[in-house]
Amino acid sequence: MTKNLLLLPKTKIDIDGRVDRVLRGLGNPEPPLRLEDVRELLELDLGFYTADDPGIAREAVSRIRVATIQVFKRPTLIIDAIRKFSLKALYLPDRKRILLDGNVPKLKHRWNEAHEVGHSLLPWHEEMMHGDNEHTLSRSCMDHIEAEANFAAGRLLFFRDRFVEEVRSSTPELKAVKRLHGIYGNTLSTTLWRFVESVGEEQPVVGMITCHPHLSRRPSGHDPAKPCKHFIQSTAFQAQFSRLSEAELFNAVAGYCGNQRGGVLGQAELILTDDNGESHRFYFETFYNTHDALTLGVCVKKASVLVASGRP
């Protein structure tokens, strides 16, 4: 499960400024963003690989850190790192080259490429990628680096505050997510992710990307304890509902979902309890695109508490 990591305001401002310079350098274009124009502006090259293709060994790489492993002199070690860590994309700073896994569905190439562009925009990432073995990055540090690259990718592909303003002027529902998906040309999953983060700074909003929730359609490898591919929490939701587990929420959503092969699986109002023990009424809806189930939950109001009183 990937849970969105919230960055410090100062870090977000820094990254956003770098993204703004890119968009201004492109003449503030209209969506969808053409990543080939971004690569041309930043003088980045793009290539493809597969974990079973030895051609990547011919990459003239002097040194690169891949998932905390230092690679010196032997570019063939990159293949081992790709296989071990199941990497879907990587950025080679020495060559200013982005490499994408050709076996990944093309729909996912756009986000993976933008993520690596994000790494290229942040100079402190290059320093960490060229560190020594004695300074191996911790898991926490790696998570922050990846979160920073994700934030840069999101601000780039969704045109910074333009997307945020459109989200906040829309009704918070999956219908709006689908509409914005068409305008910005990004996947439904990435659009849902950015939608939740944009609309929920003050309002508790949560999103989930999972397998089909209905018991009859769950895959054989489904893990009931970790049912989410992505568990997306708005700032307000994370602050108020930090004790709510993904398993609890998935089970609650599964309760209203039908077993349709695709499309809308259901909607329902659910009562969620916050960290202070107070109840809140959320409106949930789930859509299945035949690959993933996308769920959006929006806090409507505090739930009223009914107190029973006996007759005198």
* pLDDT recorded at residue 91: 83
* pLDDT recorded at residue 14: 97
Instruction: Say how far apart CA 219 and CA 154 lie, in whole Å.
Output: 30
Summarised one tens digit per residue, pLDDT across range 139-182 is: 677 788 889 999 999 999 999 999 999 999 999 999 999 999 99
Q: What is the mean pLDDT of residues 180-190?
A: 97
Of residues 126 and 85, which shows the higher confidence score? 126
Residues 6+ apart with CB under 8 A from 254: 213, 214, 215
Summarised one tens digit per residue, pLDDT across range 261-289 is: 999 999 999 999 999 999 999 999 999 99
**Which residue is listed with tokens 């695709």?**
262
Q: What is the mean pLDDT of residues 10-15?
A: 96
Under a CB-based contact definition with an 8 Å cutoff, are residues 118 and 148 in contact?
yes
Please state, for a pLDDT cut of 70, what percent of the chain lies above it: 80
**Which residue is listed with tokens 């918070």?**
172
Q: Where are the domains of the chain?
A: 2-157, 172-302
Which two structure tokens, joined as six digits, stand for 31? 């969506």
pTM comes to 0.84
pLDDT at residue 76 greater than cutoff 70: no
Helices then strands, counting H and E runs in the chain, come out as 11, 11
* pLDDT recorded at residue 49: 76
Instruction: Say how far apart CA 218 and CA 106 lie, in whole Å.
Output: 25
Q: What is the mean pLDDT of residues 76-95?
A: 69
Under a CB-based contact definition with an 8 Å cutoff, are residues 157 and 180 in contact?
no
Torsion region of 290: left, alpha or beta (phi above 0 gives left; psi -120 to 50 gives alpha): left
Whether the bond between 32 and the residue before it is cis, its omega within 30 degrees of 0, is yes
Please state, for a pLDDT cut of 90, what percent of the chain lies above it: 66
Instruction: Say how far apart CA 152 and CA 147 lie, in whole Å.
Output: 9
- The answer to whether domain 2-157 and domain 172-302 are alike in fold is no
* pLDDT recorded at residue 170: 96
Summarised one tens digit per residue, pLDDT across range 25-48 is: 999 999 999 999 999 999 999 988
CATH no., domain 2-157: 1.10.10.2910
* pLDDT recorded at residue 68: 43
pLDDT at residue 130 greater than cutoff 90: no
* pLDDT recorded at residue 173: 97
Of residues 137 and 247, which shows the higher confidence score? 247
Total residue count of the chain as it appears in this document: 312
> Which ranges in the chain belong to alpha helices (H)?
9-25, 35-42, 77-85, 106-121, 123-129, 139-157, 161-168, 174-184, 188-199, 235-240, 246-254
Distances (CA, A) of 102 to 50, 56, 155: 6, 12, 25
Residue 116, amino acid:
E
Query: Hey, which CATH number is domain 172-302, 3.30.70, 3.30.450, 3.40.50, 3.30.2450?
Result: 3.30.450
Distances (CA, A) of 227 to 54, 76, 109, 249, 267: 35, 36, 24, 10, 19
